[in-house]
Amino acid sequence: MARGRVVVTGASTGIGEATARRLAEEGFAVVATARRLARLRELARQIGCEFFPADLTDAGDVARLVGFLEEGEPVTALVDNAGGAIGLDSVADGDPADWLAMYEKNVLGTLRLTQALLPGLRRTGGDIVFVTSMAAHEAYPGGAGYTAAKHAERMIARTLRIELVGEPVRVIEVAPGMVKTEEFSLNRLGDGAKARAVYAGVDGPLLAEDVADVIAWTLTRPTHVNIDLVRVMSRAQADARTLVRSADDDGTLPVSALATDE
């Protein structure tokens, strides 16, 4: 018997995909959602999950996803993972359109689906996991647009935790540092070589599977235990700007590149 029905956003790649896989292994009935239908289909073929394609920045897509969810068993958990960063511009040079796009992806998309599923979770009990970032807790050069969005996302989680205290809903934040994934840095920087350089020389970088392991742990604690916050980084990283690289690293990476994270 399944441990519950959990919705995982951003499930077509990276932390979202790894989380869907891990939760399926843990016995949850997973509903994977993301924009790319082909990737969701392949994931479903491999792990036997439900799936529904949706762009969470589109209110109509969110409504259709919720309609699909209402046709099945009640949702008992939501993992808000979808998001992403654009560029490494300074505050002086930042493009407001990029800032708006990051806010839509990381904040309003998260808000829309959380609001839609919250009534059911309050009735039956359940969990909401917000996958934020080290960027939700720190500032670094070239990251203001992303850190602004992630700080705002974190405030959804913190405020909701206060608003729901005493109700049967756990509100959890998992904040990863730099995570070596297939697409995050590539999407942020738009260049394969630059994306690979972000992780160059890092001994034992944090992987998507490591974060998925933490998310699964928070969801499988006794129901009276609320893991308010987990900050997780590789041993080689201490904060957004402190990262140890191997001795053969030529040291030419800009400091801002060290802060590229999930």
Residue 199: active-site member: no
CB 171 within 8 A of CB 77: no
Q: State the 10-residue block means of pLDDT for the chain, 262 residues long.
A: 90 96 98 96 97 97 98 97 90 95 96 98 97 95 95 98 97 95 71 74 90 98 97 92 72 43 51
Q: What per-residue confidence (pLDDT) applies to 259?
A: 41
Q: How far apart are CA 12 and CA 104, in angstroms?
A: 18
**Which residue of the set 103, 140, 146, 199 is catalytic?**
146
Q: What per-residue confidence (pLDDT) applies to 254?
A: 40
Give the up-direction half-sphere exposure of residue 262: CA atoms within 13 A in the CB hemisphere.
33
Give the up-direction half-sphere exposure of residue 67: CA atoms within 13 A in the CB hemisphere.
8
* CA-angle at 242, arms to 240 and 248, nearest 5°: 130
Q: What per-residue confidence (pLDDT) applies to 257?
A: 42
Q: List all residues 6 or more positions away from 43 whose beta carbon is below 8 Å from its beta carbon.
A: 11, 12, 17, 20, 21, 32, 49, 51
Q: List all residues 6 or more positions away from 137 whose beta carbon is below 8 Å from its beta carbon.
A: 154, 175, 231
Q: What per-residue confidence (pLDDT) applies to 44?
A: 97
What are the chain's domains?
5-258 (3.40.50.720)
- The dihedral built from the CA positions of residue 35, 157, 179 and 240, taken in this order, carries a sign that is positive
Q: What per-residue confidence (pLDDT) applies to 36?
A: 94
The pTM (predicted TM-score) of the whole model is 0.91
